[in-house]
Amino acid sequence: MTLQGAPPDKGTFVQRLTDLHFTNPQAGVILEKGRTYTISWDNIGDIDSVKIQLNDLLNQASHWVSQGPDHVINNTGTYRYTVPATLPDSAFALQIMTPDGRYNNKSNRFYISRSDTDLFLKGSPVKRIHNEKVGNRNRYIETEIWLENKGTRKLNTVKVAWQVVKEPIGNCVAQGEEIFTDILPDTWYKKKLSLNYYHVGFSGTNHKWGKLQEGERYVLKFKADPGNTLGELDLVLDNNTYQIEALTPETYYDP
């Protein structure tokens, strides 16, 4: 924006270029409720004071960030802000403006949630793979584990535990874990998972997980843990947990 005017002691016409551009928070990050962050912006021009507002993009609501008379603060390029615990989990943008509102600019979209270490986990649809060789036959299920870091910081290591559970009785017939490393924010990562459940060889037939009866099924379950403290899977269905049907009596074996 160009502000035009003339100093009172001179008759010379001047132009002042004004640009207030947010540098933090960056696009896509998650700010944790109750924590304090430094909001920052580039300050081009000679504006002395600004106001900052928080816009809830999903709920169409606004909240003042800057505190002071009429929410006006000195234009220092930074401001410390404690995220209120009362805000909803939502997508937000910051808006910075001159006190008279003649100039304003918005940040990129970011998020406010309960934690800045937030993972999103899902799996691709399960495929059944037939591997036929001389003297043996194998059956596999294959899927891909997809993991997204929706937090604000890089995670060095994330464990994703998996289980194959026979439902409805709840017996775990196979389990293990996959390790994801160097997980950057706002990025998807994937790993292939292949599990052998049936084998026929020279020594005979091996139903590794056991046959399925009518009404039973095998379910594949994943759980991601940024703290790497996985024990037994607490399968509360949230963003860190995913499950998908793997096999039924009809799909267990196809000669």
Query: What's the confidence (pLDDT) of residue 133?
Result: 65
Whole-number Å distance between alpha carbons of 39 and 98: 16
Task: List the CATH number of the domain containing 183.
Answer: 2.60.40.150
On the question of pLDDT at 15 being above 50, the answer is no
* Cβ atoms within 10 Å of 177's Cβ, excluding its own: 14
146 three-class SS: strand
Are residues 140 and 64 both part of a single domain? no
What is the pLDDT, as a whole number, of residue 241?
80
Separation CA 99–CA 227 (nearest Å): 44
Q: Which has the closest alpha carbon to 37: 95, 84, 75?
A: 84
**Mean per-residue pLDDT, 36-55:** 89
Same domain (yes/no): 100, 181: no
Which residue shows structure tokens 């947010």?
Answer: 22
Give the residue among 82, 121, 126 at the shortest CA–CA distance from 236: 121
- 226: pLDDT confidence band, cut at 50, 70 and 90? low
109 with 160, same domain: the answer is no
Q: Which residue has the higher pLDDT, 251 or 89?
A: 251
Alpha carbons within 13 A on the beta-carbon side of 132 = 3
Q: Which 3 state secondary structure label does DSSP give 70?
A: helix
Domain boundary residue among 92, 113, 134?
113
Same domain, 100 and 141: no
CA-CA-CA-CA dihedral for 176, 182, 187, 189, to nearest 10: -30
195-213 mean pLDDT: 84
Question: Residue 4 — pLDDT band, cuts 50, 70, 90?
Answer: very low
CATH of the domain at 10: 2.60.40.10
Beta strands at 49-56 and 73-74: parallel, antiparallel or unpaired? antiparallel
pLDDT attached to residue 227: 58
With contact defined as beta carbons under 8 Å apart, do 99 and 70 qualify? yes
Last residue of a domain, one of 49, 82, 113: 113
Percent of the chain with pLDDT strictly greater than 70: 81
- Same domain (yes/no): 65, 142: no
Give the residue numbers spanning the domain of 184: 119-247
Among 113, 128, 143, which residue terminates a domain?
113
Q: How many CB atoms lie within 10 A of CB 125?
A: 9
- Identify the sign of the CA torsion 164, 169, 171, 173: negative
Task: Specify whether 104 is located in the same domain as 155.
Answer: no
Residue given tokens 């993009």 in the structure block: 57
pTM: 0.52
Express each pLDDT in 127-181 by its tens digit: 988 776 655 788 899 999 999 887 767 788 888 989 999 988 889 999 999 999 9
Q: Do 241 and 214 fall within a single domain?
A: yes
Cis bond upstream, residue 8 (ω within 30): no
Q: Do 124 and 77 fall within a single domain?
A: no
Q: Is residue 81 part of a domain?
A: yes
